[in-house]
């Protein structure tokens, strides 16, 4: 009875949209917050990983609010402030790129999710954060990641989209539903409902925006695979959308394979993650935490810290200084979600377009407002399998997925989802007084009618037309984007502001190191105890 199910869901969505737009607080739907975290490898002019340290002119990777490193010294992370409109967020991201290009000499930012030419795995430089205890902890965590998963996988990059709704939205819905939950619990319940809907349907994002259908053959380091040969240096899958998000990339992890997060309740989610960060895993116990007197991982548990959990979406809460993410969620509830599955768009200088952001806003609003069934283990597995199938063969004609145990054509399901997203887009556009969301949905609908319009298909077509390897394609795109940013240097006032912020971050790091009290061993012991003792929810 899929049509009946869809009708009920649409009725719920339409009702909630009506509740939120019929009163004086209708603007609340367009005044949530949007933030972007974009990872980019620094590379040389020939596409090789830059072996230089994080440029001092960018400031302290430990203390700078907007410019840090992720896994490697070469893996920059550009972090925008949270803004009410995605257009402002993207302007901030553009500005950050322009500043970075003023500071990296003749290096380039690799504007693809799959990396360019990497050195041997043990030669990839791990990010360093100075001599403070927290700086050393961040380094040890990354050494642990290297031992668990290899350094190569950690060089995969993406775009994280942070999304929240104005808390007035949750207040209005709580009143409409006459919920007996307190405001914090109701908000957390609705964000988890968003996440469950997202987990069931985010394969759609892989089809529409996946942009990593090929990779450099050397990336696999001789591992077995099911990819086909594109040319002497490139492997691919003909219908793949995102090898980054397939089990060749983030999904292919050992201890995490059996880790099923509970998205039905916040206590259930916290319990699952708290167990993972406190439960020993025998292969990691075999590695140990120290070698020759040096720390090599924070602990020997399934996860060293909660952020090690590779998930397509996370419930989040801004943390206080020194506070663990799980404790922040337990104490104050879910504040926003972090969408982590978006590939870097190699056709966009900043890695994501405003059009994509507008679609995400409409899609995530549907996920937030529609009814959301629980996600027990069989449904969790079904969702993961659908997602994986689309990453590897999403453009395959006639592709079928499984919905509630029954086969369904991917395009039929996608049509149903876009019909719902149309409603959300129309509401957002009415409030804003434009048609930007509707236009974005129309662009995505065209990709359903013609798979050659998807980013993954465009990447492969350009590589064929220009007889380019993946490396040659990635380098050409990255060079073009570098020229775009370098042709638009920051004005003197903005440049001075960024330079001052960089210096301030270096001073903060120096102060932290100068004022450090206590040994690193004691710091790690306290950190581990904090993980184990604070989760009674």
Q: Read off the pLDDT of residues 102-120 as tens digits, 9 standing for 90 and up.
A: 999 999 999 999 999 999 9
Q: What pLDDT was estimated at residue 322?
A: 79
**Structure tokens that stand for 411 in this block:** 């395009």
3-state secondary structure 59-116: CCCCCCCCEEECCECCEEEEECCCECCHHHHHHHHHHHHHHHHCCCCCCEEECCCCCC
Q: What is the pLDDT of residues 331-342, one digit of tens each?
A: 999 999 999 999
Q: Given a cut of 70, is residue 45 above it in pLDDT?
A: yes
Q: Please, which pLDDT band fits residue 25 given cuts at 50, 70 and 90? A: confident
Q: Let me know: does 36 contact 43? Beta carbons within 8 Å.
A: no
Given a cut of 80, is residue 252 above it in pLDDT? Answer: no
Helices 133-149 and 492-514: angle between axes, nearest 10 degrees:
100
Under DSSP, is residue 403 helix (H, G, I), strand (E, B) or coil?
strand
- The pTM (predicted TM-score) of the whole model is 0.95
Q: Is the pLDDT of residue 2 over 50?
A: no
Rounded to an integer, the average pLDDT of 151-166 is: 96
Q: Mean pLDDT, to the nearest integer, of 425-454?
A: 97
What's the pLDDT tens digit per position in 487-536? Answer: 999 999 999 999 999 999 999 999 999 999 899 999 999 888 865 444 44
- In this predicted structure, the answer to whether residue 58 has a pLDDT above a threshold of 50 is yes
How far apart CA 210 and CA 240 sit, in angstroms, is 8
The CA distance from 533 to 212, in Å, is: 41
Q: Please compute the mean of the pLDDT values over residues 66-72 and round it to a whole number.
A: 96
Q: What percent of the chain has pLDDT over 90?
A: 87
Two tokens, residue 80: 């925008």
pLDDT in tens, 197-248: 999 999 999 999 999 999 999 999 888 899 999 999 999 999 999 999 998 8
CB–CB of 399/414 below 8 Å? no
pLDDT tens for residues 281-306?
Answer: 999 999 999 999 999 999 999 999 98
What's the CA gap between 122 and 133, in Å, rounded? 24
CATH ID of 2-533, from 3.30.590.20, 3.40.190.10, 2.60.40.2480, 3.40.50.150: 3.30.590.20
Which residues have a Cβ under 8 Å from the Cβ of 213 and sit 6 or more positions away?
Answer: 236, 237, 240, 241, 242, 243, 456, 457, 459, 460
As a dihedral over the C-alpha atoms of residue 163, residue 169, residue 171, residue 173, rounded to 10 degrees, the angle is -110
What tokens does 463 get? 């590589």
Confidence of residue 5 (pLDDT cuts 50, 70, 90): very low
CA distance 478 to 484: 10
Domain boundaries of the chain, sorted by first residue: 2-533
Cα(195)–Cα(372) distance, integer angstroms: 9
Nearest to 342 by CA among 329, 319, 365, 359: 359
How much is the pLDDT for 451? 98
Nearest to 5 by CA among 404, 412, 363, 414: 404
pLDDT averaged over the chain?
93
> Per-residue confidence at 24, pLDDT binned at 50, 70, 90?
confident
**Rounded mean pLDDT, 429-438:** 96
CA dihedral 348, 354, 357, 358 (to 10 degrees): -150
Rounded Cα distance, 417 and 202, in Å = 11
**pLDDT confidence band for 26 (50 / 70 / 90):** confident
- Average pLDDT of the residues in 173-177: 95
Which range among 155-169, 238-252, 384-398, 482-496 shows the weakest confidence by mean pLDDT? 238-252
Q: How confident is the model at residue 256 (pLDDT cuts 50, 70, 90)?
A: confident
Residue 120 DSSP label: -
- Whether the per-residue pLDDT at 9 is higher than 80: the answer is no
């Amino acid at each position: 009875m899929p049509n009946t199910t869809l009708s009920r869901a649409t009725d719920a969505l339409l009702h909630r949209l009506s509740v939120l737009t019929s009163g004086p607080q209708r603007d609340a739907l367009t005044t949530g917050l949007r933030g972007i975290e974009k990872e980019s490898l620094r590379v040389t002019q020939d596409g090789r990983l830059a072996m230089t340290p994080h440029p001092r002119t960018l400031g302290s990777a430990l203390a700078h609010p907007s410019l840090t490193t992720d896994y490697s010294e070469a893996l920059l992370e550009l972090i925008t402030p949270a803004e009410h409109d995605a257009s402002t967020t993207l302007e901030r991201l553009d500005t950050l790129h322009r500043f970075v290009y003023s500071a990296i000499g003749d290096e380039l930012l690799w504007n693809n999710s799959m990396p360019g030419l990497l050195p041997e795995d043990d030669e990839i430089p791990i990010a360093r954060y100075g001599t403070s205890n927290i700086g050393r902890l961040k380094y040890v965590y990354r050494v642990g990641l290297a031992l668990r998963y290899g350094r190569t996988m950690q060089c995969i990059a993406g775009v994280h989209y942070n999304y929240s709704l104005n808390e007035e939205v949750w207040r209005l819905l709580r009143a409409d539903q006459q919920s007996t939950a307190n405001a914090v619990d109701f908000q957390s319940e609705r964000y988890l409902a968003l996440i469950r809907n997202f987990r069931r349907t985010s394969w759609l994002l892989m089809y529409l925006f996946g942009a990593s259908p090929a990779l450099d053959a050397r990336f696999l380091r001789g591992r077995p695979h099911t990819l086909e040969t594109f040319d002497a240096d490139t492997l691919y899958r003909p219908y793949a959308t995102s090898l980054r998000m397939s089990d060749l990339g983030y999904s292919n992890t050992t201890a995490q394979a059996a880790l099923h997060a509970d998205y039905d309740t916040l206590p259930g989610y916290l319990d699952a993650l708290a167990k993972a960060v406190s439960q020993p895993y025998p292969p990691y116990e075999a590695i140990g935490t120290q070698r020759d007197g040096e720390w090599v991982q924070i602990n020997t548990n399934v996860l060293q810290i909660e952020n090690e959990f590779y998930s397509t979406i996370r419930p989040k809460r801004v943390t206080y200084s020194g506070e663990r993410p799980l404790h922040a969620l337990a104490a104050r509830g879910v504040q926003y979600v972090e969408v982590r599955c978006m590939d870097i768009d190699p056709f966009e200088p900043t890695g994501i377009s405003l059009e994509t952001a507008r679609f995400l806003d409409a899609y995530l609003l549907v996920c937030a407002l529609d009814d959301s069934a629980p996600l027990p283990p069989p449904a969790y597995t079904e969702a993961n399998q659908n997602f994986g199938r689309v990453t590897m063969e999403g453009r395959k004609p006639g592709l079928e997925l499984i919905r509630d145990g029954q086969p369904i054509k991917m395009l039929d399901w996608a049509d149903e989802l876009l019909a719902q997203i149309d409603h959300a887009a129309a509401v957002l556009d009415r409030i804003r007084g434009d048609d930007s969301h509707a236009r974005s949905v129309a662009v995505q609908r065209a990709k359903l009618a013609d798979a050659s319009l998807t980013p993954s298909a465009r990447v492969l077509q350009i590589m064929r037309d220009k007889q380019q390897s993946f490396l040659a394609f990635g380098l050409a795109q990255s060079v073009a984007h570098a020229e775009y940013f370098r042709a638009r240097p920051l004005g003197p006032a903005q440049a001075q502001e960024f330079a001052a912020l960089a210096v301030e971050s270096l001073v903060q790091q120096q102060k932290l190191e100068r004022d450090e009290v206590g040994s690193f061993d004691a710091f790690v012991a306290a950190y581990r105890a904090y993980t184990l003792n604070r989760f009674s929810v």
